[in-house]
Chain A
Amino acid sequence: MSTPVQMMPSQPSKKPVAPVQKEDAMLLQKEMINRNYHELAIAHDQGKKICATFVPGNLNELVMCFDLARSLPETNALQSGLRKKSGKFIMDAERDGHSEDVCTYVKTDLGMMLNGDIGPTGEPLPKPDLLLLSYTGCFTFMKWFELIRQKYGSEAVMLHVPYQGDGRVSKNMRDYVVKQLKETVIPALERVSGVKFDIDRLREYMKESVKAEEDLVHVLHSAKHRPSPIDGYFGAVYYIGPIFTAFRGTPEATQYYRVLRDEIDQRVREGKGPITPEGELTDEKYRLVVEGPPNWTSFRDFWKMFYDEGAVVVASTYAKVGGTYDFGFRHDPEHPLESLAEYCLGCYTNLNFPQRIDMICKYINEYQADGLLINSIKSCNSFSAGQLLILREVEKRTGKPAAFIESDLVDPRYFSAANIKNRLESYFQMIKAKRAAQAAPSATPATMH
């Protein structure tokens, strides 16, 4: 089903590449993202202010109440990665004094600013007027905004979201977050924007959010089908784009998720696999759960390694960094501020190890996965710390094999295609051999003369 859509002229590509397969929803979300970059580019000219914040704990509905344009530095960094600009930005940031060891999203962002604030689409990406530091489990976020604040004089307001150390949210924690919203965050937003806070406006946005959340969860759950109509990792990063960034709570996002849902339902009816840049996956051989962020600079090549083996990712943890909607969370317009607190506390990055392990085991079982793949990111301590422990524990509990590969977010120097392909191939062959053994227990006595 095609929906007529106002299209932005497509960006000219630098290198002729095999035509990429796209669906309607895909084009919709690309258009939304480009439009947002355009809005950011002209925001100051239109007398609008820009608020930067993070995906985990992005209070999009709240920020919209103040007519602020929204910039998500993480997505800016990954967009730069996808468009092969991040390598230079990182090296410039390192030349400016940053360590090789630290988060490459940060360096890409800082490098972009050193290079005259041109955003991923080639349009200007002005420095934000307010840094809304939603500190939800990733320590690096804190330093990121401190760095921008110090170098460029931007104002930062901190929302401290307590870590779920004990694996649960207490009333104390929720109240603490709500208190900060009331006493620090909202007053700062009011002051910077000049707009008075209207809680009913927030409620309206949240009502809209819930619709999108329902549809997103429906789409994520579709991967339980065999074959899965979606890729829950590579494909999912496109699906979560609108809801994790500047669009949750807007009618455009609601429309996008409706279109997406219909497309996916159609694929389920037709028993089709996911569309990938290389074409439709017609022969689903392996179903995987993936933990860890993707690599952005070799995104297509990385996806192709899975496609070539007939491997589909049925669920991923990365697709939950902006909210664990598939575990039941919905924004609640009746209790808006408490709901915002609840939302932040539940983002994947804010969960403790037992919760992360439980989530992965649940995915493996509910989505009938053959095993777990961990993509360990060199510069991301938040995700990487403890991944081997997660791997061992998941193997123990589910009895399914797990594999471990290493790459990076947006530093092209840390993606070794040959090594990754080698490990992936070995892993798939391992699963295949296990299946064969389970089907017909080997009767060949092994001896060597």
Chain B
Amino acid sequence: MQLLRDDLGKLAGKAITDKALRASIAVYNENRRAVRELYAYRAAKPWQAPTSEVYLVLRAGMVLPPEAHTALVRDYLMATDGVERPKRDNARIVLTGSFCEQPPLGLIKSIEMAGCYIVDDDFMLVLRWLLDEVATEGDPLENLSKAFLHHSATTASKFEQRKEEKGQFLLQSAKKAGAEGVIFAAPSFCDPALLERPMLQAVLARYKVPYTAFKYAENTGQMAPIREQAGTFADSIKLWSAA
């Protein structure tokens, strides 16, 4: 990280001070807090925050300065909370596997149209990578390092030190969001997501969490099969889950 800091400083034309780093950490802490609020809101009232909208709000974070994005997220929350939107009898699911190559918006819409509320996902993990507040006092690099090493999201690209831990992150996120099932949506040829999938499915099976899986590509145009699969899955949850 020090090397990176030095190189970035060279690019910027001036060294990056500890003070600057601490300030930046604070800004991003706030952004992450706002995103967590958004996700919590959506999990509580998914009809008020459809994922096809939430997704766009998050994507904006890839091109806006973090302060502006934080404001945008909160504005959206206020705006949507102020309007009563129709509730549907949808199945609550976690969507996982889309952490790198992003699915087309049409895919997200199709899943929702097919009768699913996406109550948690792993889109744009970068916005939610660090799970807790990063300390703004003390050595900022040390704080960041510790955060990355010990308090960051679990995803397929990581090695799980202890085999007992495999799948627990997904399980916990499903529980926390009140999900009834998991949809695995991975891009074609994605080794991390696709190799990880059978392991996660084994854990879900052990805890009797229903799941289904398919692949997509950035330019997927075939939404009908996805609607069918997601729709059938949502139906099966409604029909066969222990009510």
Q: Do chains A and B touch in the complex (CB under 8 A)?
A: yes
Residue of B at shortest CB range from A151? Answer: B202
- Whether the Cβ atoms of B163 and A101 lie closer than 8 Å is no
Does A102 lie within 8 Å of B195, measured CB to CB? yes
Q: Is the CB of A150 within 8 A of B195?
A: no
Asked whether any CB of chain B lies closer than 8 Å to the CB of A156, the reply is yes
Contact check, A103 vs B166: say whether CB atoms are below 8 A apart. no
Query: Are A147 and B195 interface neighbours, CB within 8 A?
Result: yes
Chain B residues with Cβ below 8 Å from A97 are 197-198, 201
A143 to B163, CA, bound (A): 12
- Contact among A96, A146, A150 for B159, CB-based, below 8 A: A146
Q: Is B196 an interface residue (CB 8 A)?
A: yes
Given contacts A101-B215, A102-B194, A150-B163, contact A381 B189 (CB under 8 A): yes
Interface size on B, residues (CB 8 A): 22
Do B159 and A99 touch across chains, with their CB atoms under 8 A apart? no
Shortest beta-carbon distance, A428 to chain B, in Å?
31
Kindly state whether residue B220 has any CB partner on chain A within 8 Å.
no
Q: Are A106 and B195 in contact (CB under 8 A)?
A: yes
Which residue of the partner chain A has the closest CB to B166?
A150
A-B contact count, CB below 8 Å? 60
| The one of A150, A153, A160 that contacts B202, using a Cβ cutoff of 8 Å | A150
* 8 A Cβ contacts from A393-421 to B: none
Residue pair B188, A101 in contact (C-beta under 8 Å): yes
Q: Which residues of A contact B215 (CB under 8 A)?
A: 99, 101
Distance in Å: Cβ of B200 to nearest Cβ of chain A? 10
- Is A101 within 8 A of B197, CB to CB? no
- Report whether A142 and B159 are in contact in the complex, using a CB–CB cutoff of 8 Å: yes
Residue with the greatest number of chain A CB neighbours at <10 A, chosen from B166, B194, B195: B195
Q: Are B198 and A139 in contact (CB under 8 A)?
A: no
| B199 in contact with A99 (CB, 8 Å) | no
Closest to B160 in A: A146
Residue B9 is within 8 A (CB to CB) of chain A in the complex: no
Q: Do B198 and A96 have beta carbons less than 8 Å apart?
A: yes
Encoded as 1 (CB less than 8 Å from any B CB) or 0, chain A from 127 to 144 comes to 000000101000110111
Does residue A149 face the partner (Cβ distance < 8 Å to B)? yes
**Which B residue's beta carbon lies closest to that of A166?**
B3
Interface pairs (27), CB distance under 8 Å? A97-B198, A98-B195, A99-B194, A99-B215, A101-B188, A101-B190, A102-B191, A102-B195, A103-B195, A133-B159, A135-B159, A139-B157, A139-B191, A142-B159, A143-B156, A143-B195, A143-B196, A146-B160, A146-B163, A146-B166, A147-B199, A149-B163, A150-B163, A150-B199, A158-B159, A158-B161, A160-B159
